[in-house]
Amino acid sequence: MKLWQKEGVSTAEQIERFTVGRDREMDLYLAPFDVLGNLAHAHMLETIGLLSTDELTMLNTELKTIYQQIQAGKFEIEEGIEDVHSQVELMLTRVLGDVGKKIHSGRSRNDQVLVDMKLFSRDRLWRVAEAVRTVFDRLVSRSEQHKDDLLPGYTHLQIAMPSSFGLWFGAYAEALADDMLTLQTAYRLANRNPLGSGAGYGSSFPLNRSLTTELLGFEGMHVNVVYAQMSRGKTEQTALTALAAVAATLSRMAMDICLYNSQNFSFLTLPDALTTGSSIMPHKKNPDVAELLRAKTNRLKALPMEVTLVMSNLPSGYHRDMQLLKEILMPAFDEILDCLEITDFMLEHLQVKANLLDEPKYDLLFSVERVNELVLQGVPFREAYRTVGKEIAEHTYVPPRNLHHTHEGSIGNLGNDLINEAMNQAIAGFGADKAKAAIRQLLSK
């Protein structure tokens, strides 16, 4: 019998199949977090007299056993069981009888799935943040390694001014530092406790929501119980917006790599082990890894709009539409983590070509350097600009290839130390240590 089912009442098989959908598959992501929510809730129920100390001890022991099964990959949602919440309660009841049935006191499946989703999102957002930091560190390292290797800079896909691989790698590092702020925002929204909001209207039991907030290591709670339910959808959309920001950075970098790896640019090379071939053209070395990275990350950028459309025009309160948010959100974390891992691997092995700007076809890249050279001699900028334009037109222009860029964030002063500090501050703003410490303590009680 399902948690919501009444005696003598059954649901048509087609309706059950349609409404359950992929919930049993998606809920496996939530299993460890459902147990954590149960542990915190049980401790709170004991403090308000709805569980005895002995009952809490029994529940505590059995919940930790289930948690260990989940960690060992031995947990499954049995055939005919609707979701992870039902499975965990069934396992408790099989072992503990009526004591297992008490765990649902003061709760609805609505706030139960909400707390599971918050804990899941918090966990995965932190994993993404760690993976972003790994790629960031790789980019900063490559930036320093190639700070003296010049690269053509483009506007409108026309050669513009000298750049460098130091600047190119460092630009994407700073982009990820900005993306980390978006991840931090999503993390902090996920790091709010909805437990105790029930079906969205609270409970007549004297629940101690501050205690469960502390036990689960949340930064704070969703105070208003109606808004706690309304945060469903907002949390997912904000998380996916953060993933989309990271995806946009990776997508743009993947496009650069595809472009720069082509023979017509030939700025960098993917080693043979990172390329694939053609079934008809023996010379081909295709950058499939960068192309698929581009496609996968572009697809991730669409997901916030999917959530927007699912949530469109919903009034306050819970609606079953929200069930579909799981299958949008959960695989997205797997995808972005996979993309970040392959990005780091690709960046590690990317081969940069030196002395690119020695070729005569890049002479015009240094026209601004020539203008500035005249300005430093006292020539007004507009006059210097016209003079260099005339030199180019009359083929008397000689490119000054000795660069003297000293300001912050330029070829000669990358500012990677400042970018690294920005990343450190963004990481510190998560407050993830508090959450991890609280979960360790909860599992050791």
The one catalytic residue in 156, 283, 395, 407 is 156
Q: For this structure, is 316 an active site residue? A: no
Pairing of strands 192-193, 158-164: unpaired
Q: Which of 52, 278, 349, 404 is catalytic?
A: 278
In angstroms, the CA 103 to CA 223 distance is 22
**What does DSSP say about strands 220-221 and 192-193: parallel, antiparallel, or unpaired?**
parallel
Q: Is 153 helix (H, G, I), strand (E, B) or coil?
A: strand
Contacts 24+ apart (CB under 8 A), 90-98: 91/62, 91/66, 92/59, 92/62, 92/63, 92/66, 95/62, 96/58, 96/59, 96/62
> What is the C-alpha separation between 360 and 150, in angstroms, rounded?
14
Residue 278 annotated to the active site: yes
End-to-end Cα distance, the chain: 32
Closest residue by Cα to residue 373 from 333, 403, 411: 403
- The interaxial angle of helices 225-261 and 109-145, nearest 10 deg, is 30
Of residues 329, 109, 104, 115, the one with CA closest to residue 231: 115
Residues 363 and 397: beta-carbon distance below 8 Å: yes
Q: Are 211 and 158 in contact (CB under 8 A)?
A: no
Residues with catalytic function: 156, 278
